[in-house]
Chains A and B, each alone.
Chain A
Amino acid sequence: MTRSFLGMPATAPPGVGHLRGAEPFPAAARRALSDAQLRRNLGHATTTIRTKSAAVVGEVPDWPQLRAAGRAIKSDTMARLPELLEQLEAAVTAAGGTVHWAADAVEANRIVTDLVREAGADRVMKVKSMATQEIGLNEALEAAGIEPVETDLAELIVQLGDDRPSHILVPAIHRNRAEIREIFLRAMPGVDPALTDEPAALAAAARRHLRETFLSTRVAVSGANFAVAESGTLAVVESEGNGRMCLTLPETLITVMGIEKVIPTWRDLEVFLQLLPRASTGERMNPYTSMWTGVTPGDGPQAFHLVLLDNGRSAVLADPVGREALHCIRCSACLNVCPVYERTGGHAYGSVYPGPIGAVLSPQLTGVADNASLPFASSLCGACYDACPVMIDIPSILVHLRSQAPHPRAEAAAMAAAAYTMDHPALYAAAQRAAKLSRLAGPRGRGLPPPLSGWAASRDLPQPPPRSFRQWWAER
């Protein structure tokens, strides 16, 4: 094997992790749409967060300038990604950390598992992390006899409920307080049977449940929101304090980070620390942000390992249009404003990355053929682009990826025929005269083949006019 072959950008391998759904989006969406409780929970939650976010974004007079700066920093980062990663590695190493490189999910899982074993631990506590969900780290640890404990409240709800996350920020967004109470009563050892469904009571139950874990677990695994190349500083943005617990209490800290999370300079944080909380939880600032550089003697973990994860990101970077998806700072604003996400929820997307950003990121990480329905899971309404704090043009990337998706043969033939006809005005006019679609099919489209029949199932087809505009014009 030659180096040039090895050096080709590669997609994430199948069979490991959670980037590929079991069924196409329309089929999964259909099931979700029929769940009235899910629709109510999602509608309530996304409406709440949209209102909150809009209010705190409105307080910032230079929001457009911050967005433009965020976008430019990310573009610059992608253009210089190899050198920035080398710079980060050098800075982390100089500060007493150890840097590991993982080409894919299998390698990352092996590295983390080996590190936990070397630390002599059979349990790890985890801060919510998209990267470790993406690679299926929990399953890999369990297979190696190591118990992973999720400490984020929503992740805990998902883990105790034997469920799957459905949102980047709030993985249990599909659950309401009553359902969460039921899960806790069923699966949380030693829970007070008189537990109410008051959110404060539920949060307090999680506090009691996890306190002993925090105090006794010697290894923690986290993700990272940002990694500063010039200083080697890692940043984790959170709310509950479980992140601080995991980043402060254990002897060994292992951080798994997608390579795109690096930013060039310390100063760049001034942009993202303003954009992220307001776009994400709709707060001026999230309750806790932890920043650490390598190891601090006498304070916090005395062993720090940083795992830099590719797992398909190099393939995304190779696409000059699609690479903008790597700019994502995982705020989930695009999910909260998406009319499709609001109705189907996150599970329908199959991947751990749901919503508009998932619809452009997942197919690129896996190769479009493995997530072929996702680029079409959008009405291209553009709300995601407007909400994105780093101005990712998600609609344009969706359209770009649609051209790479495998097309149904009949559709491709019809599209080619339509383009040909439309490029020949005489044929086009003749086709207009012939196209009395609903007269043939009836307004309910009973005579129509799929997919037109799907549309006509709940809408009447327009009545064809007696004559087209061009006929009227010609006769005028």
Chain B
Amino acid sequence: MKLGTKLTLFNTISKLVIVILFVLLLPTLIRDINQHYTDNWLRKQKEKVLKIVKGPGIKNYIQNGESYGSYNALLKEEYVSLDVESGAGNIDTILNEKRLVEGDTIEYRILSHTFKVDKQKYLLEIGKSIDTINETTTPLQNIALEVLLGMVLLTILADQVYATYVLRPLGLIIKTKLIGHKFPHHTPYKKVRTTTSDFEYLDISIHKMIETIENTFQKEREFISNASHELMTPISILQSKIENMFEREDIIDEVKVRLLEMQKILNRLKSITKTLLLISQIENEQFLKEDKISVDLLIHEVYDEISIRLQDKNINCEINIPHDWFLVKVNKFLLFNLFFNLINNAIKYNKEGGEIKITGVLQNKLLAVEITDSGIGISSEQLPHIFNRFKKFSQSLQQDSFGLGLPIVKSIADFHRIKIEVKSEPGSGSTFKIIFPDGVIRA
């Protein structure tokens, strides 16, 4: 999951949890606040009543021991009552209690207070109906919820916008410096604009690392290229010397056979050097990709070159490629070598009288050529290493190859963005699937 998404998700969830908690607590909170307010109000009323009672005298309200009561008439939301209290002890409480008022049982918040006037104890009760108190609770709760939700949405939005803004350089670093980064990579360093020092540090570090890796790559490539070039001249001199000696009349046949052996060894050296040079030239992108060729024609050209080897081992080769498949913007020389090496391997590692099938297939809308042989196959431990330079597996074949056939194939494939998939069953054969990228092949 992306960092930005994670941050937004966390923000949203944490805020929602807080809001839900708050909303759940809201009824209790509001009730408490209301009660507190009501109690205060009741106490103020009490003070007022006591003042009134002190002024004109209690006798105005209580005559002949009859209690006094006052309600606001219709809804009975509040009431005040004064009565003679006979019980011992003082009462000064605020409680929720039910009262029967004119036939209706109504729950009130009631302040009870006893006081003495002229040695007579009186009980004052001031009540406010609970329903009235609660009436304000629901709208308050609703308003609070709406305001809160609105604020939460606003902050989430603000967070999102800010996170996107702050994380943009990171996205840019990932997009331009890491995703799809291929070696060699010749584009110069482009600073990602950011005011966040962490990102700046990350950007510079990545750049330095890439630079180091590229320098090493470059040095290795230069070394291979220079070494191969430098080897060409001495090989050339040796080859000429052997060839000239071979022509001399005064040299006996026995020496000539020796010269021939030298020539063979020199050829081996020459092949290795030439192959390394080719690989380094491909990796240095010294080849143009400007050819357009029919796949079928190319494979048949390879077939013509290689048919003598098929005959020699009595191998049947079947080619089945649609005539209208064309490769565009490729290097024909390199692709010829790619197919030559793959088909040559299919012959080399095949059984006497074996079979090779070269078929054009469609894989996930991409065109591919499959080369299947009935040869000795590759074991699953060897499979990941077959494209490594100088890796050889089959001991019996050590005499005529040096393990650079597949590395050439790999370099050429990479140069053309061709993907190669290998499947193999030891003992029954291998399949190499050459998958062409979009735009290189046209059907």
Q: Do these two chains really belong together in a complex? A: no
User: Which residues of B are at the interface with A, using a C-beta cutoff of 8 A?
Assistant: none
